[in-house]
Amino acid sequence: MNEKPRTPNQPLYGIFTAVPPRYDLINHIITLGMDIRWRRLAAKACLEGQPKRALDLACGTGDLALNLAIYSEEGTEINGLDYSPPMLERAREKAKRARLAQKIKFIYGEVTSLPFPDDHLDCVGISFAFRNLTYKNPICTSHLAEVLRVLRKDGRYVIVESSQPESQFVKRLFHFYLRAFVTPVGVLLSGNRSAYTYLAQSAADFFTSEKIKAMLITAGFKTVGYRELFYGAAGIHIAIK
């Protein structure tokens, strides 16, 4: 695919092509640094199946792909895919700086038409982009169908994402933190009000781990397990085709 910027008819394209200069740092600040460990856990969950071919879906600046490259066995094929050229540019720079550029192929593409044959990949991982693809997004169903298409039988879809705590007390604290910390700090550091208002609102409204599991089973995955992180404010789901 070529990398000519385009404007897909999707609600979030504008947000993800206006990448603030300190994008990664802002992510670390608003998650109190926990995103770093959570992506590492997700990479390890991807690698438990000892994949020969893996994809970081909606890879952004490439942190999950970098973790896959660090922890995988020599010879594992690692791909990262995103539709935002500025995100991909940062991902490639980071891979180069980490001397991992040879191990990762970053691809410009769209999650609803992945450039892989049927049953090709052993693992698809996604970090902090599943909410974007499923919450009030018309491509929700087609994205899940496409992941199922490219995964081989028994291949895994590993999702690390914010979630909705079941406990009313934790939920109230979480929503307060989104309103009082994530939105103002994100807006202040990035200068992008709509991006960080969307982030906090969609996270406050997003699904519980059980609902995410039900959605994956309805889409056609054979089994789905999950582990809650930080009292249910986030979680890792592992869905098997």
Ligand X SMILES: C[S@@+](CC[C@H](N)C(=O)[O-])C[C@H]1O[C@@H](n2cnc3c(N)ncnc32)[C@H](O)[C@@H]1O
Nearest residue (CB) to ligand X, 113 versus 223: 113
Nearest residue (CB) to ligand X, 47 versus 169: 47
Nearest residue (CB) to ligand X, 79 versus 84: 84
By CB under 6 A, name the binding residues for ligand X: 10, 12, 16, 27, 58-60, 63-64, 82-84, 87, 110-111, 127-129, 132-133, 139
Q: How far is the CB of 5 from ligand X (least distance, A)?
A: 12
Phi and psi for 139 in degrees, rounded to 5?
A: -90, 5
Q: Chain-centre distance of CA 76, in angstroms?
A: 20
Q: How far is the CB of 238 from ligand X (least distance, A)?
A: 17
Phi and psi for 208 in degrees, rounded to 5?
A: -75, 165
Nearest residue (CB) to ligand X, 139 versus 234: 139
Strand pairing class (151-162; 121-127): parallel
Token code pair at residue 108: 């410009």
DSSP letter for each residue of 172-235: HHHHHHIIIIIHHHHHHHH--HHHHHHHHHHHHH---HHHHHHHHHHHT-SEEEEEEEGGGTEE
Exposed e or buried b for every residue in 169-185, given b needs 16+ CB within 10 A?
Answer: eebeebbebbeeebbee
The answer to whether 183 and 203 are in contact (CB under 8 A) is no
Q: How far is the CB of 168 from ligand X (least distance, A)?
A: 27
| 106 three-state secondary structure | strand
Nearest residue (CB) to ligand X, 122 versus 161: 161
Nearest residue (CB) to ligand X, 64 versus 144: 64
Q: How far is the CB of 208 from ligand X (least distance, A)?
A: 20
Nearest residue (CB) to ligand X, 70 versus 223: 70
Q: How far is the CB of 52 from ligand X (least distance, A)?
A: 22
Q: How far is the CB of 187 from ligand X (least distance, A)?
A: 16
Q: How far is the CB of 63 from ligand X (least distance, A)?
A: 5
CB atoms < 10 A from the CB of 42, how many?
A: 27
CA angle 191, 197, 201 (to 5 degrees): 165
CA–CA distance, 110 with 69 (Å, rounded to integer) = 22
CB closest to ligand X, residue no: 60
